[in-house]
């Protein structure tokens, strides 16, 4: 299973979070963008992912010209540090306009806001030198089944994707499915839904997917199967590795923290399918535990990367021959133990 290429790693500014949760305030002081960029470099990461308002803070208060000017300044700053922008994602879930959803809002004025803001996000991405737009469709779903229709929302989502595809003929749209939170039910909960809606757009080739381990687990699915499925279509363009302890709030734990075997299987699939060979990054969408002291505030990133690389070694040294013999003999009992022994060894 040896691979010639090595992996490249990426995180976003929000992954240096300060411990706030819905029930309590921050537990660590906020750090500047420069501090985060410096930390990312020291940890050996090569790219940063951005929401549109990570790239240009207070974006809605600024003119289009000012937004592009600030994006150009950021590009110079990143180039100077040798750090790439992996993607830009419109943060549609914060604005007062998107309380009832962005693209699927019941109010046409607010749907227009969501599309205009997404178009501006494409302009920012072009300036930052990336063709990848990530769409976590946070509020595109319902709290109440009767308030919207899934069929109508699918049409509205396709219209929005089409508007983005028309705005920039080179951009690729990468849908990041998540089944719930903040919504009761999201309209694009799994990779299957993301790849299916791509087919309804004006340019299906430019609509793909991003898998986040925790989101797949929240959908009751195995993230390694989701990865394998998307790779079968050549549609896995980004990846948010992390971990999640069962069906609860989105935990964004360090990679491998809750279930090492599930993490191992994700790495095995990445190795087998050659993820990263076309320049895709391995991103860690992880957060420090709320209890984390400032002096340990980068450990979740360092440790996720360390675990990932250890699991790459484990994937490469997996006793394939012995495993194949057990599979041929339908001896899954011992296959199970072989995996356990391999991970323990």
**Which residues contact ligand XUL by CB under 6 A?**
51, 89, 134, 136, 176, 178, 212, 240, 250, 285
Taking the complex as a whole, how short is the minimal distance between the CB of residue 252 and ligand XUL, in angstroms? Answer: 7
Residue count at the site for Mn ion (CB under 5 A)?
A: 3
178, interface contact from ligand XUL, Mn ion, none, CB < 5-8 Å by kind: ligand XUL
What is residue 182's three-state secondary structure?
coil
d(CA 165, CA 168) in angstroms, rounded, equals: 6
Q: Site mask, Mn ion, residues 246-285, x = CB under 5 A?
A: ---------------------------------------x
Nearest to 2 by CA among 323, 333, 319, 312: 312
* Cβ neighbour number for residue 272 with a 10 Å cutoff: 15
Q: What is the DSSP letter of 254?
A: P
Closest residue to ligand XUL in the complex (CB) = 136
Cα–Cα distance for residue pair 133/87, rounded to 1 Å: 6
The CA distance from 173 to 133, in Å, is: 5
- 284 pairs with which residues across the strands? 241
| Nearer residue to ligand XUL within complex by CB, 212 or 280 | 212
Stretch that binds Mn ion, among 21-29, 124-132, 208-216, 253-261 (CB under 5 A): 208-216
As given in the structure block, the two tokens for residue 319 are: 């006793």
Minimum CB distance to ligand XUL, residue 34 (Å):
22
Minimum distance between the CB of residue 106 and ligand XUL, rounded to whole angstroms?
23
- The set of residues, in sequence order, having a beta carbon less than 8 Å from that of 309 and lying 6+ positions away, is 7
Sole binder of Mn ion in the list 235, 240, 287, 300 (CB under 5 A): 240
SS (HEC) of 253-273: ECCCCCCHHHHHHHHHHHHHH
Nearer to Mn ion, 53 or 212 (CB): 212
Residues composing the chain: 345
Q: How far is the CB of 87 from ligand XUL (least distance, A)?
A: 9
Q: Which is nearer to ligand XUL, 183 or 269 (CB)?
A: 183
d(CA 119, CA 281): 24
Out of ligand XUL, Mn ion, none, what residue 250 binds, judged by CB under 5 to 8 A for its kind, is ligand XUL
- Per-position x/- string for 160-199, each x denoting binding to Mn ion as judged by CB under 5 A, each - no binding: ----------------------------------------
* Contacted entry of ligand XUL, Mn ion, none for residue 52, CB cut-off 5 to 8 Å set by kind: none
Q: How distant, in Å, are the alpha carbons of 31, 38, 45 from that of 82?
A: 21, 11, 11
> Rounded to an integer, what distance in angstroms lies between the CA atom of residue 341 and that of residue 282?
27
Q: How far is the CB of 151 from ligand XUL (least distance, A)?
A: 25
Q: How far apart are CA 178 and CA 175, in angstroms?
A: 10
By CB under 5 A, is residue 212 in contact with Mn ion? yes
Q: Which helix (H) or strand (E) holds 240?
A: strand 236-241
Q: How far is the CB of 342 from ligand XUL (least distance, A)?
A: 30
Which of 15, 142 has the CB closer to ligand XUL? 15
Residue 54 binding Mn ion, by CB under 5 A: no
Q: Measured between alpha carbons, how far is 104 from 115 in angstroms, rounded to an integer?
A: 11
- Shortest distance (Å) from residue 107 CB to Mn ion: 27
Binding interface with Mn ion (CB under 5 A): 212, 240, 285
């Amino acid at each position: 299973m040896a691979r010639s290429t090595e992996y490249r790693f990426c995180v976003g500014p929000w992954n240096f979070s300060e411990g706030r949760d819905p029930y309590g305030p921050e537990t660590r002081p906020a750090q500047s963008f420069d501090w985060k960029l410096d930390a990312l470099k020291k940890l050996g990461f090569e790219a940063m992912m951005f929401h549109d308002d990570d790239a240009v803070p207070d974006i809605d208060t600024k003119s289009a010209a000012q937004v592009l000017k600030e994006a150009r300044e950021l590009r110079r700053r990143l180039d100077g540090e040798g750090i790439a922008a992996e993607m830009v994602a419109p943060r549609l879930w914060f604005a007062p306009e998107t309380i009832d959803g962005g693209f699927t809002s019941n109010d046409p004025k607010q749907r227009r806001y969501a599309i205009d803001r997404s178009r501006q996000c494409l302009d920012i991405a072009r300036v930052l030198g990336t063709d990848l737009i990530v769409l976590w469709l946070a509020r595109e779903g319902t709290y109440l089944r009767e308030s919207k229709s899934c069929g109508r929302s699918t049409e509205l989502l396709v219209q929005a994707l089409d508007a983005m595809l028309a705005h920039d003929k080179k951009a690729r749209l990468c849908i990041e499915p998540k089944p719930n939170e903040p919504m009761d039910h999201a309209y694009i909960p799994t990779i299957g839904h993301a790849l299916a809606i791509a087919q309804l757009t004006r340019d299906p080739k430019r609509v793909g997917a991003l898998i986040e381990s925790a989101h797949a687990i929240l959908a009751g699915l195995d993230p390694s199967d989701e990865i394998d499925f998307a790779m079968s279509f050549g549609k896995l363009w980004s990846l948010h590795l992390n971990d999640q302890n069962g069906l609860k709030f989105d935990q964004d734990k360090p990679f491998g923290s809750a279930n090492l075997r599930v993490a191992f299987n994700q790495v095995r699939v990445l190795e087998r399918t050659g993820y990263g060979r076309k320049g895709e990054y391995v991103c860690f969408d992880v957060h420090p535990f709320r209890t984390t002291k400032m002096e340990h505030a980068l450990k979740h990133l360092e440790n996720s990367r360390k675990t990932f690389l250890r699991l790459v070694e484990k994937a490469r040294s997996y006793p394939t021959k012995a495993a194949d013999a057990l599979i041929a003999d339908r001896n899954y009992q011992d296959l199970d133990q072989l995996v356990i022994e391999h991970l323990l060894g």
